[in-house]
Amino acid sequence: MNSPEPARAGISIIGAGPGGLTCARILQQRGIAVTVYDRDPSPDARNQGGTLDLHADNGQIALREAGLLDEFFQLARPEGQEMRQMDPTGQITSHKVPETDELFKPEIDRGQLRSLLLDSLHPGTVHWGRALDTISGPTDGPRQLRFADGTTIETDLVIGADGAFSRVRPAVSPAVPQYTGVSFLEAWFSDVDNRHPDIAELVGWGSAHAADGKRGLFAQRNGGDHIRVYIIQRVPVDWISTSGLTTDDTHGIRTVLCDEYAHWSPRMRQMITENDGPYVDRPLFALPVPHTWEHNPTVTLLGDAAHLMPPLGVGVNLAMLDASELALALANAATVDDAIRTYEKTMLPRSTETAKVLEHGAEHLLSTDVPDFDSDSDAPPQGAGSQ
């Protein structure tokens, strides 16, 4: 089969996260039809995760191509660029405060970003409750997508934007994410200025990090007077169950954590013990480095589906840059096959280079000498298999 012209092709994006939605928006802006399929039953079916920083040299480039940069700045929090490095006593050892007009990497809640992108699409673009089951059909197309509800569709291009445990990835690569040995346990704090003023003061308007070489804490202020704290440990992936606990046993987990962080100051331990509601288990996974695949004329990947890495400030930014470059390649190519070649020629070397730098980056989160990593903590939710 000859590869079709993008404007006449059936294009299917799997996953309605920032990457998939950015790709869809830019394609529609350039007159190319696209459909997005997502396994969630509705856009509000689950919490979308914490705050993200979008960088001027990647994530913001994608939003500019999408025609949404001004709207992004209206929602973003430049003050969220503040970064505090502390020791286990709560003493600040370094403190970065953004300039008044600094906009290199302002923060935005993941839910706000997703809503911005969703609202920019043509009505009906996203089909909810469509969890991908299998991809079949000849490599040169058309491909058949079968969903968990038993429905099937035929398409000329499948774009996997479905996160860490992508159902699209097996069509081009046998690689599966591997546990890094480091795990996050997420704790939520609401109405922090009134209910948790000590924690609010400790974290400030942006992010705060502390570690002792074996364990750490990373806290972020979100919009709506919320703070999320990521309790970071080097533990087996199943440490909760092997401790005789379940994720619902908040008291039991808290007891284990209090023992583990016993030598930290009471002020710092507030971020472990005073959370509102249960903890959320977020083990960190990463794809092998390098992760590449043989060219396929009808399937490609973007974001975590293509290059899952430790959460050191690149995840959503690379996903959105991937999405922008793929959409522009489709808008400018004679065929879908040509567009995929053009896109992967840039994306695969870039992601390989970045992944090599961050290959053991999860260990940095436990180090007492942490580089100025960014606050892109969407990775743990994606590591849990978001689509």
Strands (DSSP E) contained in the chain are 11-14, 35-37, 51-53, 83-86, 92-96, 107-109, 126-127, 132-136, 143-147, 152-155, 157-160, 178-189, 207-211, 215-222, 226-234, 280-286, 299-301
161 vs 378, more confident: 161
Mean pLDDT of the chain: 93
Whether the pLDDT of residue 168 is over 90: the answer is: yes
Q: List pLDDT tens digits, range 105-130.
A: 999 999 999 999 999 999 999 999 99
Domain boundaries, the chain: 6-78+106-177+287-359
Fold of 6-78+106-177+287-359: FAD/NAD(P)-binding domain (3.50.50)
Q: List pLDDT tens digits, range 271-294.
A: 999 999 999 999 999 999 999 999
pLDDT band at residue 360 under the 50/70/90 scheme: confident
pLDDT band at residue 46 under the 50/70/90 scheme: confident
Tokens of 75: 């929602």
CB 181 within 8 A of CB 234: yes
pLDDT band at residue 386 under the 50/70/90 scheme: very low
Q: List pLDDT tens digits, range 76-94.
A: 999 999 999 999 999 999 9
Whether the pLDDT of residue 31 is over 50: the answer is: yes
CB 169 within 8 A of CB 305: yes
pLDDT band at residue 182 under the 50/70/90 scheme: very high
Whether the pLDDT of residue 376 is over 50: the answer is: no
Tokens of 76: 């973003």
In this prediction, residue 370 carries a pLDDT of 54
| Residue appearing with tokens 């000590």 | 198
In this prediction, residue 229 carries a pLDDT of 97
Say which range, 6-15, 17-26, 258-267, 364-373, has the weakest mean pLDDT: 364-373
Helix, strand, coil percentages in the chain from 3-state DSSP, rounded to 5: 35, 20, 40
In this prediction, residue 6 carries a pLDDT of 98
| Nearest C-alpha neighbor of 272 from the set 244, 241, 246, 251 | 251
Tell me how far apart the alpha carbons of residues 67 and 374 are, in angstroms, rounded to a whole number: 25
Tokens of 280: 């959320």
Q: CB atoms < 10 A from the CB of 154, how many?
A: 12
